[in-house]
Amino acid sequence: MTRIEEILQKDEFTKSELVELLKADGGDRKKIFEKAAAVKKQYVGNKVYFRGLIEFSNICAKNCYYCGIRSGNKKLTRYYVTEAEVLEAVKYAYENKYASLVIQAGERSNKKFTTTITNLLHKINELTNNEMGITLSLGEQSEETLIQWREAGARRYLLRIEASNPELYRKLHPDNKTHDYTTRLNALHLLRKTGYQVGTGVMIGLPFQTLDDLADDLLFFKEFDIDMAGMGPYIEHEDTPLYQYRHLLMSKKERFDLSLKMVALLRIMMKDINIAATTAMQTLDKMGREKAIKVGSNIIMPNLTPVKYRDSYLLYEDKPCIDEEASECKNCLEARIHISGDEIGYGEWGDSLHFKKRKK
Ligand code: 5AD
Ligand code: SF4
Ligand code: FES
């Protein structure tokens, strides 16, 4: 038995074992993927669930060094999708049995914004008979706001920790009150407290990031006992401060391979959570999402943002699905998931099994 096979016989890994696993290649890497695929099959089955994604607004109060829609990027036209447009996208999702939605936007916490979201949630639920599983991805918010949105029908929340190492986090964000690691961590705890299914994640292949950091990220997810994860490769964007460090980056292929391994290892470590096959995976590899589904992902987020806004929501370079209408992405993903050997859980919420078990 090889060293990697020996490690894989266990379900709990130490940090140094995780680093070894993250370094594995060739036949060893294949072993990791095989184990992850088997765990996925046994614990969450072969269904992939759709979360129709509405990129509600690219207006953001923050200035993260890596992100294309940071407030400091003056080259962008800022937008918000109108209520009528959101409801039209929701109607499409509902009629096509997507069962779940994600509403994502730049981070804002003023009263006008939080109330707009609350009203939108009510309208969505009215339109869809409360049948949509709604996920929010709207950044750090107060407990009061989170409760308000929860009461208006949101059930899940995605808030990536981005990097669980506070020192790395600091290098990726301005050093000020609005970009504080401890505040972000507290925001994650608030999500748990207010009853959401909690999702988090990190970017992979960031400048200054080490394999030790990534091993710690995986242990952080486990320790926090997350319900959902969304991780993907870091992809540089020309109009961001981090772009100047692009010479430090791994090749795109290496970043993709490492991301795939992170998905597989997380599946082995946290067998019954929901793991997204992210758009960033697709950006670095034409078959990126299919590969992620094969080694552990069970969630995919077809884009429902009206096409006219799409090129204003470029968090990173070469983001796919900029011109494709919702129906084109639907057909495309159906084919891709079919190729992966999975099926789509149409009409099912596909809530995190991990969350359901903890609730019992
Ligand atoms: N590359 C990859 N992912 C990025 N995000 C933001 N900028 C980038 C980038 N350059 C991710 C962050 C954020 C999510 C909405 O998009 O992790 O949480
Ligand atoms: Fe705003 Fe999120 Fe981009 Fe940071 S990563 S600048 S919070 S949209
Ligand atoms: Fe949008 Fe393939 S998912 S075109």
pLDDT digits (tens, 9 = 90+) for 61-74: 999 999 999 999 99
Give me the mean pLDDT over the 224-232 stretch. Answer: 98
Give me the mean pLDDT over the 177-199 stretch. Answer: 98
Task: Report residue 69 as tokens.
Answer: 């829609």
Give me the mean pLDDT over the 272-296 stretch. Answer: 95
Q: To test ligand 2's pocket by mutation, which of 55, 63, 67 has the most ligand atoms within 8 angstroms of CB?
A: 67
What confidence tier does 339 reach under pLDDT thresholds 50, 70, 90?
A: confident
What pLDDT does 127 receive? 97
Distance CA 163, CA 169 (A): 5
Among candidates 166, 163, 173, which has minimal Cα distance to 240? 173
Give me the mean pLDDT over the 322-343 stretch. Answer: 91
Q: Which run of H or of E encompasses 90? A: helix 83-95
Q: Is ligand 2 within 6 A of the CB of residue 103? A: no
What pLDDT does 326 receive? 93
Give me the mean pLDDT over the 149-178 stretch. Answer: 98
Which atom of ligand 2 is the closest one to the Cα of 71? 6
Q: Whose CA is nearest to atom 18 of ligand 1?
A: 160
What pLDDT does 125 receive? 97
* Percentage of residues of the chain with pLDDT beyond 90: 97
Q: Tell me which residues have their CB closer than 6 angstroms to ligand 3.
A: 321, 324, 328-329, 332-333
Which atom of ligand 3 is the closest one to the Cα of 332? 2
Which atom of ligand 1 is the closest one to the Cα of 230? 17
| Contact indicator for 83, 120 with CB cutoff of 8 Å | yes
Q: Which residues have CB under 8 Å from 248's CB, separation 6+? A: 207, 208
| 301 alpha carbon, closest ligand | 3
Q: Is ligand 1 within 6 A of the CB of residue 158? A: no
Q: Phi and psi dihedrals of 72, rounded to 5?
A: -75, -10
Tokens 């950044």 locate to 139
Q: Whose CA is nearest to atom 1 of ligand 3?
A: 329
Task: Report residue 327 as tokens.
Answer: 């129906």
Residue-wise pLDDT for 292-303, tens only, equals: 999 999 999 999
Query: 1: CA distance to ligand 1 center in Å?
Result: 39
What pLDDT does 359 receive? 79
Residue 360 has pLDDT above 80, yes or no: no
What pLDDT does 207 receive? 98
Q: Whose CA is nearest to atom 4 of ligand 3?
A: 329
Q: Is ligand 2 within 6 A of the CB of residue 138? A: no
Tell me, rounded to whole angstroms, the distance of Cα 253 from its chain centroid: 20
Task: Report residue 104 as tokens.
Answer: 């994502």
| Contact indicator for 229, 269 with CB cutoff of 8 Å | no
pTM score of the predicted model: 0.97
Range with the poorest average pLDDT among 45-59, 104-118, 121-135, 319-333: 319-333
Task: Sketch the domain layout of the chain as residue ranges.
Answer: 32-359
Distance CA 111, CA 45 (A): 42
Residue-wise pLDDT for 232-277, tens only, equals: 999 999 999 999 999 999 999 999 999 999 999 999 999 999 999 9
Distance CA 8, CA 30 (A): 12
Burial (CB count <10 Å: 0-12, 13-18, 19+), residue 43: middle
What confidence tier does 341 reach under pLDDT thresholds 50, 70, 90?
A: confident
| 200 alpha carbon, closest ligand | 1
Residue 340 has pLDDT above 90, yes or no: no
Q: Whose CA is nearest to atom 4 of ligand 2?
A: 64
| 325 alpha carbon, closest ligand | 3
| Contact indicator for 112, 336 with CB cutoff of 8 Å | no
Say what the alpha-carbon torsion angle 297, 67, 257, 328 is, to the nearest 10 degrees: 50
Give me the mean pLDDT over the 166-171 stretch. Answer: 98
Distance CA 99, CA 49 (A): 9
Specify the pairing of strand 228-229 against strand 203-204: unpaired
The type of residue at 50 is F
What pLDDT does 358 receive? 86
Which atom of ligand 3 is the closest one to the Cα of 302? 3
Assign domain 32-359 one CATH number from 1.10.357.10, 3.20.20.70, 3.30.70.260, 3.30.590.10: 3.20.20.70
Quickly list DSSP for 154-200: EEEEE---B-SSHHHHHHHS-SSGGG-HHHHHHHHHHHHHTTPEEEE
What pLDDT does 11 receive? 80
Instruction: Quote the mean pLDDT of the chain.
Output: 96
DSSP assignment letter at 165? S
